[in-house]
Structure 1
């Protein structure tokens, strides 16, 4: 089921995307993680607050002032969190939407489980030569779109029936979306044109720690309980460790996988990690109660017990003595053959 909310051509001059796109202004040094092509595991900053004071005010203002262009039909707080999370995924890789390199704009692009549609919209703006389609179970995307961006109501676990193949397929934060993620990867492979590329960006739970895991902390217990609870619901928060295998088994070649690390607070050394941590902490604080009520409730905890527990977890997320971080994988692979531009 397809729908398009893009502006009519005659109205295009009355709406400027350049003036409404979310932008995060920052010193380039904030995104410097050293000589490698990706950050190494973060190290502990003995004075965790010193560098943080210079960026926390402006970053917090940015995270809590998400672009108001959306006209969302339900749960605006959750939609705002998802847009904040979008900023986190892009800032972590240097204010980019993807790590896949392109010599030219891919002709047809698919964004599965697009959510608010912010990735698809920004990709369409940055790649005017692309036609971008976003799919999701819910029609929560904005009304005003670039002319080269549309959305469809679709379930990526159903049989894919697109009329034309894609040159680039993108999926993000899919870790527990699917009953059979390997099947989704296979369908995506079949829906790519020869030479087409797919990129997934996703988190790996449970969290990791620098030094001995704080097994007595609420955050550690929360990670363990959430992984168990999600498993009881028939899903997994650890699918990311299998992504490379899924790609290989589907037939992808030239697979590139990079891992990035998101500290839970500014305990990590370096402005890059402090910037990422500020966004990740805001994301977690905003979303942890909702996800915990659903998952931990399935383990037999009452609403009051979950909420009390969540407050303890939030304290750990703010505590710079808890040296926790989340591993996030960005992976892409190419379908054999050569893309033909039409």
Structure 2
């Protein structure tokens, strides 16, 4: 990852219309304390792949859930004047083929809006927190890899005014007006990192969908941290789960999940890679490796009200992103025709909206510390 070859975002190179302040919806209705088993959160399990538990289903589901409202991102970034040669497939825009690495999810405005919605979903999941690692209140140098729209980096820079936050991504889709202690660069996290300084905290979220070499990634995190610095990854863990048999392995959501894993694998991406994070972090040399597991219920089937609200946000996130998640893996990896994908996804959406199907997506938070004196 070459700092000197990095390209500033449109903030420095292109005129962009003013962007209204992004307001994050109320997150007071956050999940219960991590120790509460009803939330589905389990800390430090011995077996990462088998210790996920979803929330308790609601015995009296109804169609009257209205807590979600009509949330949409207020950010309206335009990158039309930027010179990158974006690729277009099946009606979606993808990042330029500037790098050897392919990222199989789109980078268009529809995906940007979904990423901002997903940010709110993480705030709900983490009780309003931007991170779990016990970093200093006076943290200085911060790196956000795969920053996407930059919404996490911007919020972090606002919350930690002493910090200098650098966000990197394959596409310049971040806003023009950002806090003075926040900057963005177009760069590839899978290439060599050659920053001229080290970091106190490195953060990544939902990057499993594009990463192909996790051993190298965590080694570069380790090498680019100050002694005592922290790395934290917040990511998904496929496949989808169902604890009570209400969605069998041949149901549309579970079939979709299996095919996602298969298609991604053909493109060199392991959607279950977070099962290995603890071991990789330890082998690289990190200490105090900590793992938290959360459940994202798909729709409002849980009994617990906080989990029910979270499930409504998850469903909105999935419905808005399902085509973007799937199209690259299915057409590039599995060689499906786009029309076949769309027909199949219609059945997946309908079943995901069915509250009788108690399906959830496992989410993990992984953080660790570089030893002092290294």
Instruction: Give TM-score, length-normalised by structure 2.
Output: 0.81
- Picking from 161, 165, 185, the partner of 2:194 is 161
Deviation at 1:102, TM superposition (A): 2.9
Within-5 A mapping of 1:106-185: 106-185=139-218
* Alpha-carbon distance in structure 1 between the residues aligned to 2:271 and 2:34: 30
Residues 53-82 of structure 1 show CA distances to partners (whole Å, capped at 9, x for unaligned) of 352xxx2322xx212353444621111011
Q: Residue 355 of structure 2 corresponds to which residue in structure 1?
A: 320
Aligned partner (choices 229, 241, 254) of residue 275 of structure 2: 241
Matched residue, 2:338:
303
Report the equivalent of 2:62.
49
Cα–Cα, structure 1 residues 77 and 176, in superposed 2: closer, same or farther, change >3 Å?
A: closer
In 2, the alpha carbon distance for the partners of 1:272 and 1:170 equals 26
Deviation at 1:216, TM superposition (A): 3.0
Deviation at 1:105, TM superposition (A): 2.5
Higher helix content, 1 or 2? 1
1:329 corresponds to which of 343, 360, 364: 364
Displacement of 1:160 after TM fit?
A: 0.7
Q: Specify whether residues 72 and 118 from structure 1 end up closer, same or farther in structure 2 by C-alpha distance, changes over 3 A only.
A: farther
Which whole-Å CA distance do the structure 1 matches of 2:296 and 2:216 have between them? 29
Greater CA deviation, 292-301 or 261-270?
Answer: 292-301
Residue 210 (str. 1) matches residue 243 (str. 2): yes
Shift of 1:170: 0.1
Q: Take 2:127 and 2:79, find their aligned partners in 1: how far apart are those partners? A: 28
Specify the SS of the correspondent of 1:97: coil
Deviations 1:269-305 (A, max 9, x none): 1111112111111111111113322222232422222
Structure 2 counterpart of 1:61: 70
Q: Which residue of 2 aligns with 1:22?
A: 23
SS in 1 for 2:39: coil
Q: CA deviation at 1:117?
A: 0.8
- Larger mean CA deviation between 187-196 and 136-145 belongs to 136-145
CA gap 1:36/1:284 in 2 versus in 1, 3 angstroms: same
Alignment of 1:187-198 (within 5 A): 187-198=220-231
SS at match of 1:201: strand
Provide the rounded CA distance (Å) in 1 between the counterparts of 2:343 and 2:223.
47
* CA contact 1:185–1:250 (8 Å) conserved in 2: yes
List aligned pairs for 1:70-85, cutoff 5 A: 70-73=77-80, 75-85=108-118
CA pair 71-21 structure 1, distance change in 2 beyond 3 A: same
Please give the root-mean-square deviation of Cα atoms over the aligned residues, in Å: 2.3
Cα distance in 2 for partners of 1:37, 1:127 equals 32
Match of 1:12 in 2: none
Q: Are positions 1:3 and 2:8 aligned together? A: yes
Matched residue SS, 1:336? coil
Structure 1 segments of 4+ aligned residues over 4 angstroms from their partners? 4-7
Pick which of 145-154 and 296-305 moved more. 296-305
**How many Å apart are 1:245 and its aligned residue?**
1.1
C-alpha spacing 1:93/1:338, structure 2 compared with 1 (3 Å): farther
1:262 to 273, 289, 296: 296
Task: Give me the whole-angstrom Cα distance separating, in 1, the residues matched to 2:150 and 2:295.
Answer: 24
Secondary structure, counterpart of 2:238 in structure 1: strand
List runs of 5+ in structure 2 lacking aligned partners.
1-5, 13-17, 41-52, 81-106
Q: Would you say how many aligned residue pairs link Structure 1 and Structure 2? A: 323
Residue 205 of structure 1 deviates from its aligned partner by 0.4
C-alpha distance in 1, partners of 2:279/2:38? Answer: 21
